[in-house]
């Protein structure tokens, strides 16, 4: 028996999952290739993966979107056997940073975080790196800043393709008014996601010469704030034909103003695919479209990814910036989406089956996942020279294409396949 075989035999006899994980790290450092079956359990592949303790840190459960996001996070606990902690920063930066600093005392080793502003990501990622906490940032990140800038514990950044979401929804809205007229545009908070949705709306408007985008007030993603700004918009633009709000909460706030004034001919659209927004769209009337980023899926997929990293999986460079698939909802499919994502007793995703470590050969993301090309994602924004050199190597495009194909090939099932 060779020395390497002796090491692997010894590892196969370790039953404690944490001890097994330490063994895997030491073996890898020594240059020993550990088979997938041993990484997860015995040489027969018996699952003994380390479970760990995961935390999610978002704004508030009072927001419908974040409530759905938390639902997806919670659903991964029984599937993966992880302990969980739910934290809320209430859009208070000092509170958010304090909560991240306190994670080690709670035994947390995985964090899914949606920050208040993109500029907080580098600090939070650094704190996680220093404390051995595997970290995923969802939705926001500064332009040209990437996980390799921090280290191996910043696993990845995930977001829906907000340019495409804005573009698809805006096209439906513009078509609903015959392709011409004034369209009030209500923005959210000044974030990269908001900028991306704006870019999508403007891209669509460029294809409809008769459309004039007007207003551009900020509703800060909040329903009541959107009501306030909409009150001024109906005075400033009495001939408006439609309203595009950059999330459903704001769209619903604006809709309430239109309904109060009996402006039922003014069409409206939003983004996020909240249950209430989907129900409005399903009516086939004034609210013509929304785009759902599948909030429960986003949280669940992020939790699975961190679980895999905790158990020894190392993402390729092209897996460290990822788009998670979203759906544009119209009157034809809104009710189906609402039923599957919000109304059903259980979410229509098998989170255990998503795991790369529990299912090395047969893992299935159950959604359209594809890598983000930073050169396209942040095109036109200052700071390209700061992009990590890893993305400038001659191997980048080949790896990007290979990872795109990898996720497409493994996408075998899912509620919207």
| 395-to-168, 315, 391, 398 alpha-carbon distances in Å | 32, 16, 8, 5
Angle subtended at Cα 397 by Cα 391 and Cα 398, rounded to the nearest 5 degrees: 125
What's domain 163-292's superfamily in CATH? Answer: Response regulator (3.40.50.2300)
What pTM was estimated for this model as a whole? 0.86
CA-CA distances (angstroms) from residue 224 to 221, 228, 254, 264? 9, 6, 9, 20
The architecture in CATH of the region 53-160+299-325+349-410 reads: 3-Layer(aba) Sandwich (3.40)
Q: Is 233 helix (H, G, I), strand (E, B) or coil?
A: helix
Q: 44: pLDDT confidence band, cut at 50, 70 and 90? A: very low
pLDDT in tens, 282-321: 999 999 999 999 999 999 999 999 999 999 999 999 999 9
Q: How far apart are CA 323 and CA 45, in angstroms?
A: 31
pLDDT digits (tens, 9 = 90+) for 242-256: 999 999 999 999 999
pLDDT band at 43 (very low <50, low <70, confident <90, very high): very low
| Torsion sign across C-alpha atoms 173, 340, 327, 220 | positive
- C-alpha–C-alpha distance, residues 413 and 411, integer Å: 6
Residue-wise burial string across 347-357, b where 16 or more C-beta atoms lie within 10 A, e elsewhere: bebebbbbbbb
Give, for 156, the enclosing helix (H) or strand (E): strand 154-159
What token pair was written down for 54?
A: 């995961």
417 secondary structure, DSSP code:
-
**pLDDT tens-digit map of 82-131:** 999 999 999 999 999 999 999 999 999 999 999 999 999 999 999 999 99
- Answer whether 42's CB lies under 8 Å from 48's CB: yes
């Amino acid at each position: 028996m060779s020395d390497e075989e002796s090491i692997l035999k010894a590892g196969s006899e370790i039953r404690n999952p944490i001890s097994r994980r330490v063994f895997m790290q030491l073996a890898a450092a020594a240059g020993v290739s550990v088979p997938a079956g041993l990484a997860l359990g015995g040489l027969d592949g018996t699952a003994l993966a380390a479970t760990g303790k995961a935390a999610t840190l978002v704004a508030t459960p009072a927001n419908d979107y974040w409530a759905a996001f938390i639902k997806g996070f919670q659903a991964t606990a029984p599937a993966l056997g992880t302990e969980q902690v739910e934290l809320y920063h209430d859009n208070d930066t000092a509170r958010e940073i304090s909560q991240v600093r306190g994670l080690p005392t709670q035994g947390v080793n995985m964090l899914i975080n949606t920050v208040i502003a993109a500029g907080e990501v580098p600090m939070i990622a650094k704190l996680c790196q220093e404390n051995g906490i595997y970290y995923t940032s969802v939705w926001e990140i500064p332009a040209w800043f990437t996980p390799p800038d921090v280290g191996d514990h910043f696993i990845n950044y995930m977001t829906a393709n907000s340019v495409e979401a804005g573009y698809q929804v805006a096209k439906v809205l513009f078509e609903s008014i015959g392709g011409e007229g004034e369209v009030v545009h209500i923005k959210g908070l000044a974030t990269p996601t908001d900028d991306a949705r704006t870019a999508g709306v403007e891209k669509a408007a460029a294809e409809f010469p008769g459309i004039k985008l007007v207003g551009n007030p900020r509703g800060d993603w909040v329903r009541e704030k959107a009501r306030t700004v909409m009150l001024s918009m109906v005075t400033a633009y009495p001939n408006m034909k439609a309203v595009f709000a950059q999330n459903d909460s704001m769209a619903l706030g604006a809709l309430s103003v239109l309904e109060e004034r009996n402006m039922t001919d003014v069409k409206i659209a939003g983004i996020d695919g909240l249950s209430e927004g989907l129900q409005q769209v399903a009516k086939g009337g004034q609210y013509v479209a929304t785009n759902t980023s599948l909030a429960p899926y986003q949280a669940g997929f992020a939790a699975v990814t961190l679980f895999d990293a905790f158990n020894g999986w190392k993402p390729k460079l092209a897996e460290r910036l990822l788009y998670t698939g979203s759906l544009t909802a119209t009157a034809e499919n809104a009710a189906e989406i609402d039923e599957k994502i919000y109304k059903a007793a259980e979410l229509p995703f098998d989170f255990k089956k998503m795991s790369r470590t529990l299912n090395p050969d047969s893992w299935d993301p159950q959604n359209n996942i594809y890598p983000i090309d930073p050169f396209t994602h942040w095109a036109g924004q200052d700071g390209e020279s700061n992009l990590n050199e890893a993305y400038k190597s001659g191997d980048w495009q080949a790896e990007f294409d290979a990872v795109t194909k990898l996720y497409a090939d493994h996408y075998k099932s899912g509620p919207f396949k």
